[in-house]
Amino acid sequence: MHPVARLVNRNLTISLNPGFLVWQVVFPLIYVFVAGFAYSSLIDRVPFGGRDLAYPAYLATGMIGFNIMNSTLVSGVIIWNDRRNGMFEQIMSGPFTRTHYILASVLTQGIVGLASAGLIAGLGLAAYYDQAEPGLEAIPLVVFAAVTGSLLFGSTASIISTRLKTSEGFNVMINTVFLFFAFVSTAFYPAAGAPEPLATAFYLNPLTYLVDVVRAGMLGGGLTDLVLAEMAALAVLAAGLFALATRLLTRLDF
């Protein structure tokens, strides 16, 4: 087996524990089915692409994007744990290079991102299937979102992992980033209707682009100029953050 494949195998084994699965699968499903339907009495319809959507369908597709971010932030944390548990040094003293380690971490994040996007898309189907209008572009768009999203958020977590020294600092940082990305976005609610500075802030957040792309694919919003611009932004941000994460990881001292 190739060294990168061996590292991916190892990364997946150490991260797929019951706690991770609850966080990745059970929580998002509770959101989709409990919050989605419970909020329906408050939020009747959500305007989307010239039509009105039921809130559960809006939320379920938002959760696909949310889950890509959530799971890859968590898998980006592998680097932090490896440093803390001495495994980074141990791996680097074995038959691997830093490039192997970085590629493996990206691939792990990509696999986890795709799997969780697929899981929520599949298991959450009941919440949105009557509203779904997946065109030919649905699958490529969700895959694009999963791949760029994984790179972007995985790299963000890696950057935080390499820069911070204390557990407290690390936890505060990861949680702040998580809260901002998750709640200042269109994953849970539309930007239209939010008070002005907030509505703009929604569009300074890559998770918004991510869920917009997912919704364009799953709910038939189509490739509007906005979605195309968001895809371009995702690609640029993912590439930039990945380059930075790689640079930092390559220079990380023992």
Partner 1 sequence: MQCIRARSLTKSYGGAGRPAVDGIDLSVGAGSVFGFLGPNGAGKSTTIKMLTTLIRPDSGDLSVFGIDALRFPLEVRRRIGVVLQQASYEPTLTVSGALEKYGMMWDVPAAERRRRAGRLLEEFDLSEIRGKRNDDLSMGQRRRVQVAREFMHDMDLLFLDEPTVGMDPAARRALLDSLRRRAKSGLTIFYTTHVLAEAEYICDEIAIIKGGRTVAAGSPESLKSRFGSGREVRIRVPSRDGRIPALLGGVDGCSVSVDAGTEIRVRPSGSNEALLRVLRVLGSHGIEIDNLSAAPANLEETFLRVVEEEPGAPGR
To the nearest whole angstrom, how small is the minimum distance from the Cβ of residue 96 to partner 1?
A: 8
Q: Interacting stretch for partner 1, rule CB under 8 A, among 9-17, 63-71, 132-140, 199-207?
A: 9-17
Determine the residue type at 241: L
Please say which residue, 23 or 96, places its beta carbon nearer to partner 1. 96
Q: Which of 4, 7, 107, 187 contacts partner 1 by CB under 8 A? A: 7
CA distance linking residue 136 with residue 138, whole number of Å: 6
Q: Does 6 bind partner 1 (CB under 8 A)?
A: yes
Question: Out of 44, 52, 89, 133, which residue is the one contacting partner 1 (CB under 8 A)?
Answer: 89
Start-to-end CA distance of the chain, whole Å, equals: 28
Applying CB under 8 A, among 95, 122, 195, 197 the residue interacting with partner 1 is 95
Q: Does the footprint of partner 1 cover residue 17 (CB under 8 A)?
A: yes
Is residue 117 within 8 Å of 192, Cβ to Cβ?
Answer: no
Q: Which of residues 43-82 bind partner 1 (CB under 8 A)?
A: 81
- Answer yes or no whether residue 85 interacts with partner 1 by CB under 8 A: yes
Task: Identify which range of 26-34, 48-56, 83-91, 140-148 contacts partner 1 by CB under 8 A.
Answer: 83-91
Which tokens is 146 given?
A: 């999963």
The two tokens of residue 244 are 């930075």
159's CB contacts (< 8 A; 6+ apart) are: 241, 244, 245, 248
Which of 91, 123, 223, 248: binder of partner 1 (CB under 8 A)?
91
Of positions 35, 43, 87, 235, contacts partner 1 by CB under 8 A: 87
Buried b (16+ CB within 10 A) or exposed e, 41-67: eebeebebeeeebbbbbbbbbbbbbbb
Q: Which stretch binds partner 1 (CB under 8 A): 37-45, 95-103, 218-226, 243-251?
A: 95-103
**The two structure tokens encoding residue 187:** 């994953």
99, 180 Cβ separation under 8 angstroms: no
- Of 114, 148, 111, nearest to 233 by C-alpha is 148
Give me the least distance between CB of 119 and partner 1, in Å please: 21
Summarize as ranges the residues that interact with partner 1 (CB under 8 A). 1, 6-7, 9-10, 13-14, 17, 81, 85-87, 89-97, 253-254
